Structure formats: structure tokens, C-alpha cells
């Protein structure tokens, strides 16, 4: 397997390939290679939206070759938090990159005019996108589909108007239903005048030992489809957690004022599945099919005329745009998800921004003068839809502030105690206890998926766990997920990829690793990421924790500030930072 990096310089309008075998040998691929390339490419203190910052995409040695190794990682400097930007997307991108022969891509500079990049095997072209600038993310995909080669085996990733307008939590839509959602990659695209990237390839991969490859492939495939390790994702999908967390008092409701939603049943995964689920899809190379697509059918006249929109849903958007905004209907949530899809906004940050604004309006920190009479009220779907449009248009100072994230808006207008961010990133849909809070705060990208703190909390509810054990679990997950993210597998499949299975599957592509090698790799990657974070100003000792977390009951009861302080102290000590 030839390990190469494709460099594309938008300013100079040129591209070239460099062989970086050593980089891949030492850092495996995916997030390991991504963070190292970021360190190489991104000078300290650079404005995240300036031409000097890079966008890096990388896949790992198993992508396209083994089941459920379906993700691509984007590494960049986040315009939302000002530090490490890291986001993962599925769809067909990793497969397209594999067969185009590029395991990592670095995009530098800034195009002179709206442009898109077309990669077809080794051919790289920077093309004019002037005529599609301003067009929504869904339509952009439809247009490029007809212009570019590789039907059925390509990936089209693109931004909507939010990315063009540099909304700090604009995402990149991947093959329609998947996203580089978090931390503002869309804004970085926009700042580079980059509307889209289309990748397709016709290469194939030869494995050294076909017989062994088939053996290991079959084992992993069977584990994924025939055992219950991925059951949750087969059936209802991640949204099965709406009811579960609602019962556990862990479902953030109305900007975390509550953690159980009396109307939760109406927006449960079961309700979505029964009333709205149209079909399920999968990322290329995954037999599970966890992508749940709902049909949203709305009448636009009284003469039985309907518009039908196909909208993908999951637990997180149902939390952020649903319970978190007091929205009591699945239709309302689907409508808001659809607005975010078209504008190209991260659904999670968007929901938390709106929930903060709703509360700030209730509390009189802002008035209808700021909101331009848009009714920012719980469950007011039309009001929220209009607000999202206004944010992207930066219609006035208030909406422009909302476009910079909750932290920025709360600094300007107040309401910091219920500005629900950790590490500057709008929080995920869990108030399960201390591990979720600490996990998101210490996590490299301030995501619930960095270390799965919410799952540690849920374990602790069943069987009490002391603070030290919780911290140990967080550290273990931090590091092991770092390794898994080098392979850029889907985190839903982490049960399939046991350490043994990782070693065996790497072996079939000629990469020999021991358990110790992998553990060491996990630690090194974590350290490199923290080096970057600290360099860009992240300081765990002064990181803000919204008071609201201590005021609203969690699945583990009320969380005391002292618990969080102690866990953070333990965390720093165990990481050797104190």
C-alpha cells in the first residue's frame, strides 16, 4: 500500500503528491496522520478563517477494505473554538478516497473566486463554482452529480449558504445524509471560496494474502451482522435513546432547564420509526444501514398537493432541535433538520444556540428588537426556522452574534450560566452525570464521542463507580478511540473492532502491530492533539462549566461542582499535567 499525501493549493491553483511512508508508518493514518499534518501546516495563532490554515482529510489503512471502516476524518483549526477542529463523516467519501488512491489530502490557500475541487483518480482539477455559490447544500449536490464522473462510486461533499457566510458552526454535507457537522469545517470551506469537493476513483487494492484476508473479513462481517454488538443501530437507530434517556432523566430539555421531557413519547425513536421512517441506508462498506431516512410529507394547498422531503434523523438532532427546544412533534423536528441541511448548519450547535436565545428572550436579556419580532419560543418551529435563516443572513448584530456560537452571544448579551458549551463547543444531548461533563470538557474535540462519558455515567448508575475509576475509564476511551480513529472506523462498530480484530485486520494489509504498539499510538496521538490545543489557547484549568449543569438533575442526581473539580484534578494528575 503506497502511502501518499495529495496537496492542493487553491491560491496557486496547483496540486501534487508526496510519498510520506514514514508519516503513515509512525502515525498509522486517519486522525494520527491528520493531527501531524495539521501541526505541519498550521502555524501557531493563525486565524482559522484565513488562507494560511489548512483543511486535511485522511483515511486509514482499513477503509474500504474491511466492513464498517467507513469514515473519513477532517482536521482543521476550528473557527468556533479557535483550537483543534476534528470531525468525522461517513457516506461514500472514504471509499472514494481509497479508490482514487489518496489516503490524505491537504488543502491550502484560498481560491480567487468560488471554486470546487474535482478529484478523479490522480487527476485533480480546481473548477469554477461561481454559478452555484449561494445555492443550498442539497441542490448543490444535485447539480454536481450531473457534471462530474463516477456515478455510484463517488462522493460529493459541499457547503450551503451557512458555510459561505462563515457561520462558525457551519458543516459540510457529505453525500446528502452524512456530515462533517461539528466545529465549523463549513466556514473554513467558505473562507477558502471552496464550495465543494468531488472524489471518485477506479483503483483497486491488492491484499498480500487473499485467503487470510477473506477469513478475517468474514469474521468481522459476521460479528457486525449476526451478533448483537450493533443491534441498537439496526432497528430503531440511535434515536432509541430518546425514551431511554428521558426515563433516566438525562434527556436535555429546554436548554437543560429539565432533563426529562413530558412530551418525550411524541418524539421518540419508536414514534419516528412507526410514523415517518421511509427507509434505511448505509455508508458504503457497512452492512448495518443505520442511516434512518424519514419522509416528511406536507400539504401546500387544500387540493391534496404535497411536498415530500426525505430527511435523515438520529438521536442528536432530535435532542438539539427537539427536546432541547421543547418541540413536541416529529414533523416539527424534521422540518428544522431539513432547514439545517439546506443551509449547511451543524444541527447540534444550531439547536443549542436557539435554546440559549429562547431563554435569553424569556429572561429579557434580549428583546423583540434584537430578534426582529421572530418568536423565539419553545416549540415554535416556524420561529426557529426563520431564526436559522436570519443567522445565516447575519440579518442584524444579534443574529450575527448567534452565528458565532453560544459563547460569543452570551458574552455579549449575558446568560453565561446557561450558555451550554464545553470547551467552546455546544454540548451533546446528555446530562447523565459527571463523566459526561468531564468527558466532553477534556475530550480533544469536546465531543461526547471523544470518550463516551455518557456511557460511563450509565454504567455507574447500574453499578456505583468511584471518581477515580470514572477518570480511568475516560482516559482509556480517549486513547483507544484515538487508535480506532486512525483506522477511521465507525464508532458504532467499536464493539466489532476489538484489539485482537484490529491487529488481525491490520496484519492482512501488511501492517504488523502489537497491543503495546497500539496503546502507545493512542497515547502519542492524544498528546499531539493536546499540544495543538494548548498552543492555540485551550486551558483545562480555566475551562468554563455552565452553572446549569449543577442546577438541573442528571441521571445520576444533582452533580456537585466539587465532584467535577475533583475529577478534573484526578484527570490532570493521571495525565501527568499537575
Q: Decide if 307 contacts 124 (C-beta within 8 A).
A: no
Return the residues of window 419-458 that contact other proteins according to CB under 8 A: none
| Closest distance to other proteins from the beta carbon of 343 (Å) | 18
- How many residues bind to other proteins according to rule CB under 8 A? 41
Q: Decide if 129 contacts 116 (C-beta within 8 A).
A: yes
CA distances from 356 to 311, 374, 379, 559, 574 (A): 25, 15, 14, 21, 35
Q: What residues have CB less than 8 Å from 313, skipping those under 6 apart?
A: 237, 239, 272, 292, 294, 333, 334, 337
| Closest distance to other proteins from the beta carbon of 8 (Å) | 24
Instruction: Give the sign of the dihedral formed by CA 243, CA 558, CA 348, CA 381.
Output: positive
| Closest distance to other proteins from the beta carbon of 137 (Å) | 12
Cα(174)–Cα(159) distance, rounded to whole angstroms?
9
Return the residues of window 289-328 that contact other proteins according to CB under 8 A: 289, 310
Which residue stretch of 255-263, 276-284, 401-409, 538-546 sits at the interface with other proteins (rule: CB under 8 A)?
276-284
Residue whose C-alpha is closest to residue 317's, from 335, 301, 295: 335
Please tell me whether residue 181 binds other proteins under the rule CB under 8 A.
Answer: no
Please tell me whether residue 279 binds other proteins under the rule CB under 8 A.
Answer: yes
Among 64, 237, 433, 452, binds other proteins (CB under 8 A): 64
Among 41, 103, 148, 175, binds other proteins (CB under 8 A): 175
Helix (H) or strand (E) holding 520: helix 515-535
Among 3, 121, 127, 221, binds other proteins (CB under 8 A): 221
Which residue stretch of 129-137, 285-293, 395-403, 428-436 sits at the interface with other proteins (rule: CB under 8 A)?
285-293
Please tell me whether residue 283 binds other proteins under the rule CB under 8 A.
Answer: yes
Please tell me whether residue 2 binds other proteins under the rule CB under 8 A.
Answer: no
CA distances from 162 to 390, 412, 523 (A): 10, 21, 36
Q: Decide if 67 contacts 224 (C-beta within 8 A).
A: yes
Q: Decide if 159 contacts 192 (C-beta within 8 A).
A: no
Among 10, 37, 42, 95, binds other proteins (CB under 8 A): 95
| Closest distance to other proteins from the beta carbon of 498 (Å) | 21
Q: What is the dihedral of CA 447, 453, 454, 459, to 10 degrees?
A: 160
Among 205, 372, 534, 558, binds other proteins (CB under 8 A): 205
Please tell me whether residue 364 binds other proteins under the rule CB under 8 A.
Answer: no
Instruction: Give the sign of the dihedral formed by CA 44, CA 46, CA 48, CA 51.
Output: negative
Contact residues: other proteins, CB under 8 A = 64-65, 67, 91-92, 95, 99, 141-142, 145, 151-153, 156, 175-177, 202-207, 210, 213-214, 217, 221, 225, 279-289, 310
Amino acid at each position: 500500500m503506497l502511502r501518499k499525501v495529495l496537496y492542493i493549493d487553491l491560491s496557486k491553483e496547483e496540486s501534487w503528491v508526496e510519498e510520506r511512508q514514514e508519516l503513515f508508518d509512525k502515525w498509522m493514518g486517519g486522525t494520527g496522520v491528520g493531527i501531524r499534518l495539521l501541526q505541519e501546516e498550521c502555524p501557531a495563532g493563525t486565524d482559522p478563517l484565513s488562507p494560511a490554515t489548512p483543511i486535511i482529510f485522511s483515511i486509514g489503512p482499513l477503509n474500504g477494505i474491511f466492513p464498517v471502516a467507513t469514515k473519513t476524518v477532517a482536521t482543521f483549526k476550528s473557527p468556533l473554538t479557535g483550537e483543534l477542529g476534528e470531525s468525522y463523516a461517513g457516506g461514500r467519501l472514504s471509499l472514494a478516497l481509497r479508490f482514487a488512491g489518496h489516503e490524505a489530502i491537504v488543502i491550502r490557500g484560498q481560491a480567487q473566486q468560488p471554486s470546487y475541487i474535482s478529484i478523479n483518480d490522480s487527476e485533480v482539477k480546481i473548477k469554477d463554482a461561481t454559478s452555484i455559490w449561494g445555492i443550498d447544500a442539497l441542490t448543490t449536490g444535485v447539480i454536481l452529480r450531473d457534471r462530474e464522473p463516477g456515478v455510484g462510486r463517488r462522493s460529493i461533499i459541499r457547503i450551503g449558504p451557512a458555510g459561505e457566510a462563515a457561520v462558525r458552526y457551519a458543516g459540510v454535507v457529505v453525500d446528502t445524509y452524512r456530515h462533517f457537522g461539528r466545529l465549523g469545517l463549513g466556514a473554513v470551506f467558505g473562507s477558502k471560496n471552496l464550495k465543494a469537493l468531488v472524489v471518485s476513483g477506479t483503483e483497486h487494492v491488492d491484499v498480500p494474502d487473499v485467503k487470510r484476508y477473506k477469513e478475517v473479513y468474514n469474521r468481522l462481517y459476521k460479528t457486525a451482522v449476526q451478533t448483537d454488538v450493533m443491534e441498537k443501530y439496526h432497528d430503531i437507530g440511535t434515536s432509541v435513546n430518546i425514551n431511554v434517556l428521558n426515563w433516566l432523566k438525562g434527556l436535555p430539555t429546554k436548554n437543560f432547564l429539565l432533563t426529562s421531557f413530558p412530551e418525550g413519547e411524541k418524539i421518540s425513536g419508536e414514534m419516528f420509526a412507526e410514523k415517518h421512517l421511509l427507509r434505511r441506508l448505509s455508508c458504503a462498506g457497512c452492512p448495518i444501514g443505520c442511516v434512518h431516512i424519514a419522509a416528511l410529507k406536507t400539504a401546500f394547498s387544500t387540493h391534496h398537493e404535497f411536498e415530500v422531503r426525505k430527511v435523515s434523523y438520529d438521536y442528536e438532532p432530535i435532542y438539539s432541535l427537539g427536546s432541547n427546544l421543547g418541540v413536541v412533534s416529529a414533523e416539527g423536528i424534521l422540518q428544522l433538520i431539513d432547514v439545517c441541511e439546506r443551509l449547511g448548519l451543524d444541527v447540534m450547535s444550531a439547536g443549542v444556540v436557539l435554546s440559549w436565545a429562547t431563554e435569553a428572550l424569556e429572561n429579557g436579556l434580549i428583546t423583540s428588537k434584537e430578534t426582529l419580532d421572530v418568536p423565539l419560543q419553545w416549540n415554535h418551529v416556524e420561529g426557529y426556522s426563520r431564526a436559522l435563516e436570519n443567522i445565516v443572513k447575519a440579518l442584524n448584530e444579534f443574529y450575527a452574534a448567534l452565528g458565532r456560537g453560544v459563547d460569543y452571544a452570551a458574552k455579549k448579551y449575558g446568560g453565561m450560566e446557561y450558555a451550554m458549551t464545553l470547551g467552546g463547543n455546544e454540548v451533546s444531548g446528555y446530562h447523565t452525570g459527571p463523566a459526561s461533563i468531564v468527558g466532553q470538557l477534556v475530550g480533544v474535540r469536546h465531543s461526547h464521542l471523544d470518550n463516551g462519558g455518557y456511557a460511563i455515567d450509565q454504567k455507574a448508575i447500574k453499578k456505583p463507580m468511584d471518581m477515580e475509576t470514572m477518570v480511568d475509564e475516560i482516559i482509556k476511551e480517549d486513547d483507544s478511540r484515538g487508535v480506532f480513529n486512525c483506522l477511521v472506523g465507525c464508532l458504532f462498530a467499536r464493539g466489532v473492532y476489538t484489539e485482537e480484530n484490529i491487529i488481525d485486520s491490520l496484519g492482512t494489509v501488511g501492517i504488523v502491530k502489537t497491543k503495546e504498539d497500539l496503546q502507545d499510538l493512542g497515547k502519542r496521538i492524544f498528546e499531539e492533539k493536546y499540544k495543538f490545543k494548548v498552543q492555540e489557547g485551550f486551558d483545562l484549568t480555566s475551562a468554563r462549566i455552565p452553572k446549569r449543569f449543577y442546577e438541573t438533575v442528571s441521571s445520576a442526581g444533582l452533580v456537585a461542582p466539587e465532584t467535577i473539580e475533583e475529577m478534573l484534578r484526578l484527570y490532570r494528575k493521571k495525565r501527568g499535567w499537575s
